[in-house]
Amino acid sequence: MISGFESVQLTTLIMIVVAGFAAGWVDAVVGGGGLIQLPVLLLVPGITPVQALATNKMGSIFGTTTSAVTYYRRVGPDLKTAIPMAVIALAGSFGGAVLAANLPASVFKPIIVVALIAVALFTALRPNAGELTALRHDGHRHYVVACAIGAVIGFYDGLIGPGTGSFLVIALVTAMGYAFLEASAKAKIVNMATNAGALLFFLPHGSLLWGVGAVLGLSNMAGGYLGARTAVKQGSGFVRVVFLIVVGALIIKLGTDVWHDYFAQ
């Protein structure tokens, strides 16, 4: 199965297009589009989990690239911070993908659920966080913190994936002092790099379904473009609300996975 279309029914193809668009929109605003996209890919007959992950990354990189360009043109994020962060994140993502091939994600999911709950509580209880950019670090320390965030979250994206954009946004808001809109703009540049890092690992293994990935990518691009424009127009308050909704969905999804892994066997 090379294209992925060999046994795909029309209804499944329509679901892939709709999921790609919705995931692109969510990813552009706060990240977390993989929650929508990945489950639909698993409906493709005969697809393996590795093929689904690889094809998901291929689709996502179209959307994150489109939203990153849109944000750059409309928000103008500081590339002196975003580019080094993205390069480090790419390397981290590749390393995470290598480890993912040898270590089950279930080992890390309980930790991620706890972290997401903490993030949701922090954001909900501090309504003024992320309204305005007020950087917490100056000079060299600013770039060190940015690169550390890129390395850790890039590694997470290669290893597990769901919610990478959301983790990037909240780290940029809480650890660095960016407003939600500025954080989302930088997060898209970094998320584009983490998708590329994982793809660099998957490509030599022949895991991509090129046809499905192309369709997913085109619909993701459309969603990413609209999502970025919506976020820019509505501002940081809107991004914060969508962020809390997506983090809540992530908690439910990963929490259910943890329950199944540890208690439902």
pLDDT at res. 227: 93
Tokens of 34: 């993989």
The type of residue at 104 is P
Which of 212, 210, 207, 206 minimizes the C-alpha distance to 9?
Answer: 212
Q: Are 135 and 179 in contact (CB under 8 A)?
A: no
Which region, left, alpha or beta, applies to residue 15 given φ > 0 means left and ψ of -120 to 50 means alpha? alpha
Greatest mean pLDDT among 112-116, 163-167, 181-185 lies in 181-185
Alpha-carbon gap, residue 38 to 54, rounded angstroms = 10
pLDDT tens digits, 171-226: 999 899 998 889 999 999 999 999 899 888 888 877 788 889 999 999 999 999 99
Compute the average pLDDT of residues 146-172.
88
In whole angstroms, how far apart are CA 205 and each of 49, 200, 209?
Answer: 13, 10, 12
pTM of the model: 0.83
74-100 pLDDT per residue, tens? 888 889 999 999 999 999 999 988 887
pLDDT band of residue 16 (cuts 50, 70, 90) is very high
Q: Is the pLDDT of residue 148 over 90?
A: yes
Handedness of CA 203, 23, 252, 88 (dihedral sign): positive
Cβ–Cβ < 8 Å for 255, 116: no
The average confidence (pLDDT) of the chain is 85
Query: What is the radius of gyration, based on Cα positions, of the chain?
Result: 17
Tokens 């709950």 correspond to: 117
Distance in angstroms (rounded) separating the CA atoms of residues 205 and 201: 8
31: alpha, beta or left? (left if phi > 0; alpha if psi -120 to 50) = left
pLDDT bin (cut points 50, 70, 90) of residue 51 is confident
Place of tokens 């103008």: 76
